[in-house]
A and B are shown apart, each in its own frame.
Chain A
Amino acid sequence: MINLLINDKKVTVEEGTTVLAAAKTLNINIPTLCNHDDLCVAGNCRVCVVEQTGARTLIASCATPAAEGMDIHTNTLKVRNARKHIVELLLSEHRSDCTKCYKNQNCELQSLANEFAFGDHIFLSLIEDHAINIDRSSPSFSKDDSKCIRCQRCVRTCSELQQVSAISVANKGAHQKISSFHDRPMSHVVCTNCGQCVNRCPTGALVEKTYIDQVWDAIYDPDKHVVVQTAPAVRVALGEDLGYDPGERVTGKMVTALKQLGFNSVLDTDFSADLTIMEEGTELLTRLKKALVDGDTKVSLPMFTSCSPGWIKFIEHKFPEFLPNLSTCKSPQQMFGALAKTYYAKKRNIDPSKIVSVSIMPCTAKKFEADRPEMRSSGYKDVDYVLTTRELAVMIKQAGLDFKNLEESNYDSIMGESTGAAVIFGATGGVMEAALRTAYEIVTGREVPFGNLNIIPVRGMEGVKEATIKIEGCVEAWKFLEGAELKVAIAHGLVNANKIMKMTREGRAPYHFVEIMACPGGCIGGGGQPIPTNVEIRKNRMKAIYSEDAHMVLRKSHDNPEVKAIYEEFLESPNSHKSHELLHTHYVERDDY
């Protein structure tokens, strides 16, 4: 243990603890900027400098381990003057158009400016010297270098959490910047649009592309019928932007809010998540049958899930030889979109050309996914606009709704019914659990042998999870699976996806079915979720997801009455010709740089 003094108070911490963390245990707040709980220490912004008695210079508290006998002062004149200078220097290279900025009032630099740099600024603006260059090429987010303060959180995110490194620090000195490969547009590099960088950018340099105005226009267009779907992970995080603590479920209030915003029909992506399980589960069983019974050696196993558009783009760029291993199922968002302008339009007797299909997603990559040319199987753009959880919160605020005091209400029908299996899609392991709940029952006629249907081994924050399910007592049609051990794996965060893919490439992946989500924690940690994010926050959201599941009457996708109905009335059966037309897709190989 290490003993030191901070602001004359004694503190004892474990070896390796930073001065910053030691101060936190005393409730002494030291401002930080480049520091982020999810990322490695950088020590480059210098906002967190403190004075160490006897040291020649100030020290960066985030990057300095506590040492025995240290005498630290966090609030001396020297420290405060240096901090003011540092914040002002950052402001001098930052285009402070705060009142126009999407991140206004949710900007860490702005907060620091409020504390340290109000009044006239000392330094000259350097912005005129850097030509203002905003990269709007990606449908998911924009990158504005004139607001970048070079904290490198985005670079660390892209390399440490996602192992994509679509962006890197380039050049040096005054010309240093965050750059893609040779400054190419973000739409033309390996970027997966996952938005994890957006979640961690302390300023407005990286923000999602917003389609709020387009959605308002549609809502107020009397000719349009606007349907909205909400992804499972939105309901456990939206509250954070509206005054709730992380982990509060606000499903009912969210539905009411959407109705009050003026959407004609408020529906649930959970419905198409259940549908995904039917399609994907059947696809898996079919592949297994082909491999095990028909002896077809060309069957691609393991089969990978295809719900996460960041993951899809990742594999298209980095491991295209395994595209046949991807489930051909569209994501729930896109299944919903294809059905909204076909099945829903028909049932409700609405001209599909008048339908505007909006989705609320915890995700920035979904904006890209909706734009993919493959996603027009209804004959129209299947999903017109994708809004993030954050954008929905903005709309709720714009509408002046008193969110906390809204009544709770239920989703509309049709395509508003859901099960617990669909809800857990929002957390890593959820798709796997939902799939197993259904597939096991199809094959054996019995429920999965886990208490309360909770398949604990596939849950939690472990980067790569593995499980083996022994299949026993098969019904006649699936007898060939009798005694088989179904091996599954789950990865979240592309750094973990990369591990699985390297194993697969080297022939060391013994799995039949693998669930992969691009974001840490799965969709609950998606790039469109409220800011800030950290492990604690994500754990709370995850808890809320499983609690939502536990509170549902229906817990298995195949029990969803609307899913049953759509097969009877429209799709015939899972993996039918019609299903393939509307609910399945194909993938493209992309450059690896």
Chain B
Amino acid sequence: MYQVGNLVRELSDKHGRVRESLMPILQGIVQKHNYLTDEAMVEVARELDISAAEVYGTASFYTFLETNVKGKYVIRVCKTITCSMKGKSDIIQTLEDILKIRVGETTTDRQFSLVETNCIGWCHKAPAILINEMPYTELTPEKVSAIIKDYMQK
């Protein structure tokens, strides 16, 4: 909690203590800590002098501003039409098998979370996923296994 407080203060110093800084501050926390803890949201509310419910309300509007526990690597599998047509289910199956979790879950070691997401803008290279910020495209079960195994080595 102490650490989160420091990060929130750093981010508030950087972006300014005004409402329009809310998004960059929350984004900065997620980049560092994968998701927004309640403590982090309360700290942000204090820094910006807005209510914690409003911080939560704003964060929960945005898919990437997770307010529940997420792993170090959040794998977002695109579920929109082209990726669905081009084998999204196989990718999910493969990921579930490797990580031994279902969609929506996080591995017990807090390394990986697996979620579905809406169109990420790679329809011409479907199926596609994001791992944190990085896109991976034209996936096959083999390709995605290799990618995840790489991450496991990190």
Q: Which residues of A contact B (CB under 8 A)?
A: 159, 164-172, 179-182, 189-190, 592-593
- Taking a contact as CB atoms closer than 8 A, the residue among A165, A171, A592 that contacts B54 in the complex is A165
What's the nearest-Cβ distance from chain A to residue B112, in Å? Answer: 23
> What 6 pairs across the A-B complex have the smallest Cβ distances?
A168-B57, A165-B51, A593-B52, A168-B53, A181-B52, A181-B53
Q: Are B46 and A168 in contact (CB under 8 A)?
A: no
Main secondary structure of the interface of B (DSSP, over half): helix
List of A residues within 8 angstroms of B45 by Cβ: 592-593
Instruction: Pick the residue among A165, A171, A189, A190 that contacts B60 (CB under 8 A).
Output: A171
B136 close to chain A: CB less than 8 A: no
Question: B41 contacts the other chain (Cβ, under 8 Å)?
Answer: yes
Q: Tell me whether B46 and A166 are in contact (CB under 8 A).
A: no
Which residues from A are CB-within-8-Å of B53? 165-168, 179-181, 189-190, 593
Contact residues of B between 12 and 61, Cβ < 8 Å to A: 38, 41-42, 45-46, 50-58, 60-61
Interface check B67, CB cutoff 8 A: yes
What size tier do the contact residues of chain B reach? 10 to 19
- For the residues of A in contact with B, the DSSP-based class is loop
Select which of A164, A170, A172, A592 is within 8 A of B56 by beta carbon.
A170
Closest to B68 in A: A182
In the complex, besides A165-B53, A168-B53, A593-B51, 10 extra interface pairs with C-beta distance below 8 angstroms are A165-B54, A168-B57, A170-B57, A172-B61, A181-B52, A181-B53, A190-B52, A592-B45, A592-B46, A593-B42
Shortest beta-carbon distance from B41 to chain A in Å: 7
B50 touches A182 (CB 8 A): no
Docked-complex contact B51 and A171, CB < 8 angstroms: no
Instruction: Given A170-B60, A171-B60, A592-B46, decide whether A182 and B38 contact each other with a Cβ distance below 8 A.
Output: yes
The 8 Å CB contact of B51, one of A169, A170, A172, A190, is A190
Tell me the B residues contacting A by CB distance below 8 Å: 38, 41-42, 45-46, 50-58, 60-61, 67
Residue pairs across A and B with CB atoms within 8 Å: the count is 56
CB<8 Å pairs between A and B, sample of 18: A165-B50, A165-B51, A165-B53, A168-B54, A168-B56, A170-B57, A179-B53, A179-B57, A181-B42, A181-B52, A181-B55, A181-B56, A189-B53, A190-B53, A592-B46, A592-B52, A593-B42, A593-B51
* Least CB distance, A592 to chain B, in whole angstroms: 7
Of A167, A168, A190, which is in contact with the most chain B CB atoms at under 10 Å from its CB?
A: A168
**A172 CA / B60 CA spacing, docked (Å):** 8
Query: B56 touching A179 by the CB < 8 A rule?
Result: yes
Contacts of B46 in A (CB 8 A): 592
- Are B60's CB and A181's CB within 8 A? no
Q: CB within 8 A of A166: which of B38, B51, B58, B67?
A: B51
Chain A CB within 10 Å, residue with most, of B41, B45, B56, B61:
B56
Taking a contact as CB atoms under 8 Å apart, the answer to whether B61 and A168 are in contact is: no
CA distance A166 to B51 in the complex (A): 7
Task: Across the interface, name the chain B residue whose C-beta is closest to A593.
Answer: B52
Contacts of B61 in A (CB 8 A): 170-172
Q: Are B52 and A169 in contact (CB under 8 A)?
A: no
Complex contacts, A592 vs chain B, CB 8 Å:
42, 45-46, 52
Among B38, B46, B50, B57, residue most surrounded by chain A Cβ atoms (within 10 Å): B57
What distance in Å separates the Cβ of B49 from its nearest Cβ neighbour in chain A? Answer: 10
The smallest beta-carbon distance between A469 and chain B, in angstroms, is 34
Of B41, B51, B58, the contact of A182 (CB 8 Å cutoff):
B41
Q: How far is the CB of B45 from chain A (nearest CB, A)?
A: 6
Residue of B nearest to A163 (CB): B51
**Which chain A residues border B55 with CB–CB below 8 Å?**
181
Measured between alpha carbons, how far is A172 from B46 in the docked complex, in Å? 24
Query: Is A182 within 8 A of B56, CB to CB?
Result: yes
In the complex, which residue of chain A has the Cβ closest to the Cβ of B42?
A593
Q: Are A164 and B51 in touch, CB under 8 angstroms?
A: yes
Which of chain B's residues has its CB closest to A502's CB? B49
Chain B hits for A169, CB < 8 A: 57
A270 to B54, CA, bound (A): 39
Query: What residue of chain B has the Cβ atom nearest to residue A592's Cβ?
Result: B46
